Structure 1
Amino acid sequence: MSLTFRAISEDEPGPKWAGLFAEYRAAYLAWWAREGLTGRPTYLECRRALETHMPELMPIYDRLCELAGGGDVEARFLSVYCPPRYLTGCSQAIWSGDEPLLVRNYDYNPHAVDAVLLRTRWQGRQVIGMSDGLFGLVDGMNDAGLVASLTFGGRQEAGTGFGVPLILRYILQTCTTTAEARRVLERVPCHMSYNVTILDAKRRFLTAYLAPDRPPVITRAAVATNHQERVEWKSHARVTATVERERFLLQRLTLHPETQDRFVSAFLKPPLYSLAFDRGFGTLYTAAYHPLRHQVELRWPGTMWLKSFEDFAEDTTTVTYPTTFEAASPAPMH
């Protein structure tokens, strides 16, 4: 199985963004309507929710809606308000060394991913991140050195709120420190349970356990997998090995002082690296965010894609995923 990732740079929403949306439009809207549109928030309800909780995004939202054709369903989709349920795997951790570094694996269905690394300068703020729906982000960094990344929180409950990728976009558009991001996470409602890890350029970090049916819990956890304070969805925990992955990362952080490269490389091997693509939880990429360097490394076994605000080439990389763990062993990094 192969997947092509694209690096796209566009300062303000324009023809490149519009072209990507046109390419993915049918798939996006089919997903949005899969549970039916009856009873879902109307355009006005979506708009009011955005104006209430993320008013700074309104000029961007209006421009994206225009580029998407100005239709009702497109506008509701782009609001990311009360979206359909979706589940991911994912592991993420803050390296314990002196330089700030967040590393994550994104485990998801390869047929339901944008596969676009997007660099923008919307409203004057530079952001690099992995796109979700071309408005939200599943991980990313801004030019202040603030990094945000998500994992699924391991609970089935859904409620009234925003899809967490838009919350990450909002944080990276409007915040410069972990303290500012914390205030956003405490007040913006999330429609499902997700774990969001934040790291800033001064190595201040937090992990927020978000949920639709209880207040957010802000922790100093340096590791997040697919449960929160305890395992609540036991069958999902078994399938995704969330506890085993968390233990592995905690052991590396506390018992195995190691270089950045060795720490990042550990994400390319079991138990963090997953080949469960048939269940929708295969590892699509490993991302290492370096706030002080303004740099992100995208890694796959034997391959690295390096991007920064100062050097962001618009190119592609095609990844062929292994079928066995032996084939997944990373090549030496020089």
Structure 2
Amino acid sequence: MYVNFRVVHSDEALSEWAAWFRSVWPSYRQWYLREGMLTRPSYLQCLQAVKHYMPAYFPLWEKLIAAVDGGDIEARFLSLYCPPAYQFGCSQAVWRGPNPILVRNYDYDAQLIDAVVLHSDWQQRQVLGSSDCLVSLVDGINDAGLCLSLTFGGRPVVGEGFAMPMILRYLLQTCDSVSAAIASLRKIPTHMAYNVTLLDASDQLATVHLAPDRKPVISNTPVATNHQPGDKLAPHRWQTATVERERYLLQQMIAHPETEQEFIDHFLRPPLYSFAFSRGRGTLFTAAYQPRLRRLDYIWPHYQWRLALDQPQPQNIRVLYPSA
């Protein structure tokens, strides 16, 4: 199947973003309410959670709601507080060469991806990244050079908290460094288990393992896949080969010093690159973030799409994925 990726630019006027929201909102509304309206938090619960845990996002949240003439459901959705649970598989790692980069593979269902690179200039902060749920991000970079990427943590536990892509949006809106982002991660509850890898323009890096039933575990490991420290063997671990992918990345870093391009190339072939498209787990893109250059490269096995934070190109790109 073909998927068209495009850049959506959004300044404080929010007009282009609002047009995109309206075009896909019916599908997202169906997803958000798939378990029934009463299973999602009320508007008041969402409002209180945003004001308490993400106070700097609250004015933007209100502007986003107003931009789409949103009511109760739109407001609750745009908080992404206690949304429906969902899982995906990813690999991510930091290459610590002369110009450190954060590289990630995003493994998900090609029919469900936003396929939008969202370039926002909100609250005097530029952010560029891979959109999820219209406002949040599964990976991104801001104008301070802070880069973030997430992976599913492997455990199906669900609790009261925000979707991690929304937390990434908040961190990129409000933080300049890895240390500042970690301080925020300690305070904001997540609704599922996730791993977040962080890299900033001063070459500081960290990986944070988060879950609704545990305290955050912070390490300086440059690699994260789809499990967390101390987890017992579970079906998800062998179905996604998460341990094998982690070991492969660590082995390449320790035993085989490489150039930047050689390191990226590992993400374009097994075991990191997944061909499980028929099961909704194929690798949809590889993203390489360069914090010093404020640059994002999307990479597929046969072509590359380069975007700069200060001048992202308003172009589209059509990607062909195998059906099986």
Task: Please give the range of the TM-score, normalised by the shorter of the 2 chains.
Answer: over 0.9
- In structure 2, the residue matched to 1:83 is 83
Segments of 5+ residues of structure 1 without an aligned counterpart are 325-334
- C-alpha separation between the residues in 2 aligned to 1:13 and 1:233? 49
* Alignment-mate amino acid for residue 171 of structure 2: I
- C-alpha separation between the residues in 1 aligned to 2:232 and 2:78? 31
After superposition, what is the alpha-carbon deviation per residue over 1:126-173, rounded to whole angstroms, capped at 9, x for unaligned? 110111112110000001100000000000100000000010000000
- C-alpha separation between the residues in 1 aligned to 2:165 and 2:185? 12
Alignment of 1:286 onto 2:278: no
> 5 Å matches for 1:261-300?
261-300=261-300
Shift in Å, 1:310: 2.6
- C-alpha separation between the residues in 2 aligned to 1:37 and 1:292? 44
Shift in Å, 1:323: 6.1
TM-score calculated relative to the size of structure 2: 0.97
* Alignment-mate amino acid for residue 68 of structure 1: V
Aligned residues of 1:13 and 1:63 also touching (Cα < 8 A): no
- C-alpha separation between the residues in 2 aligned to 1:308 and 1:82? 33
Secondary structure (helix, strand or coil) at the match of 1:38 reads: helix
* Total equivalences in the alignment: 324
- In structure 1, the residue matched to 2:147 is 147
Shift in Å, 1:239: 1.0
Shift in Å, 1:232: 3.6
Alignment of 1:202 onto 2:198: no
Shift in Å, 1:97: 1.2
Aligned residues of 1:224 and 1:246 also touching (Cα < 8 A): yes
Secondary structure (helix, strand or coil) at the match of 2:170 reads: helix
Aligned residues of 1:11 and 1:120 also touching (Cα < 8 A): yes
Shift in Å, 1:34: 1.0
Shift in Å, 1:230: 3.4
- C-alpha separation between the residues in 2 aligned to 1:189 and 1:222? 23
Secondary structure (helix, strand or coil) at the match of 2:7 reads: strand
- In structure 1, the residue matched to 2:305 is 305
- In structure 2, the residue matched to 1:48 is 48
- C-alpha separation between the residues in 2 aligned to 1:247 and 1:19? 44
- C-alpha separation between the residues in 2 aligned to 1:313 and 1:10? 14
- C-alpha separation between the residues in 1 aligned to 2:54 and 2:220? 25
Alpha-carbon distance change, 304 to 214 in structure 1, aligned in 2, over 3 angstroms: same
- In structure 1, the residue matched to 2:107 is 107
- C-alpha separation between the residues in 1 aligned to 2:130 and 2:40? 27
Segments of 5+ residues of structure 2 without an aligned counterpart are none
Secondary structure (helix, strand or coil) at the match of 1:268 reads: coil
* Alignment-mate amino acid for residue 29 of structure 1: R
Structure 1 stretch displaced more, 195-204 or 67-76: 67-76
- In structure 2, the residue matched to 1:245 is 245
Aligned residues of 2:95 and 2:102 also touching (Cα < 8 A): yes
After superposition, what is the alpha-carbon deviation per residue over 1:274-317, rounded to whole angstroms, capped at 9, x for unaligned? 01122221101000000011111000111100000232111110
After superposition, what is the alpha-carbon deviation per residue over 1:160-218, rounded to whole angstroms, capped at 9, x for unaligned? 00000010000000000110000011110000000001111111111111101111111
Alignment of 1:37 onto 2:37: yes
- C-alpha separation between the residues in 1 aligned to 2:47 and 2:69? 16
- In structure 2, the residue matched to 1:225 is 225
- C-alpha separation between the residues in 2 aligned to 1:151 and 1:266? 18
* Alignment-mate amino acid for residue 244 of structure 1: E
- C-alpha separation between the residues in 1 aligned to 2:106 and 2:307? 18
- C-alpha separation between the residues in 2 aligned to 1:129 and 1:93? 17
- C-alpha separation between the residues in 2 aligned to 1:93 and 1:169? 20
Alignment of 1:10 onto 2:16: no
> 5 Å matches for 1:156-235?
156-232=156-232, 234-235=234-235
Aligned residues of 2:41 and 2:82 also touching (Cα < 8 A): yes
After superposition, what is the alpha-carbon deviation per residue over 1:223-269, rounded to whole angstroms, capped at 9, x for unaligned? 00000103446111111110110011001111111110111111010
* Alignment-mate amino acid for residue 94 of structure 1: V
- C-alpha separation between the residues in 1 aligned to 2:155 and 2:77? 23
RMSD: 1.2
- C-alpha separation between the residues in 2 aligned to 1:47 and 1:266? 43
TM-score calculated relative to the size of structure 1: 0.95
**Identity percentage over the alignment?**
50
- C-alpha separation between the residues in 2 aligned to 1:323 and 1:277? 6
- In structure 2, the residue matched to 1:133 is 133
* Alignment-mate amino acid for residue 243 of structure 1: V
* Alignment-mate amino acid for residue 112 of structure 2: A
Structure 1 stretch displaced more, 237-246 or 307-316: 307-316
- In structure 1, the residue matched to 2:97 is 97
- C-alpha separation between the residues in 1 aligned to 2:211 and 2:3? 32
- C-alpha separation between the residues in 2 aligned to 1:111 and 1:323? 11
- C-alpha separation between the residues in 2 aligned to 1:132 and 1:323? 23
- In structure 2, the residue matched to 1:331 is none
Aligned residues of 2:205 and 2:222 also touching (Cα < 8 A): yes
Higher strand share: 2
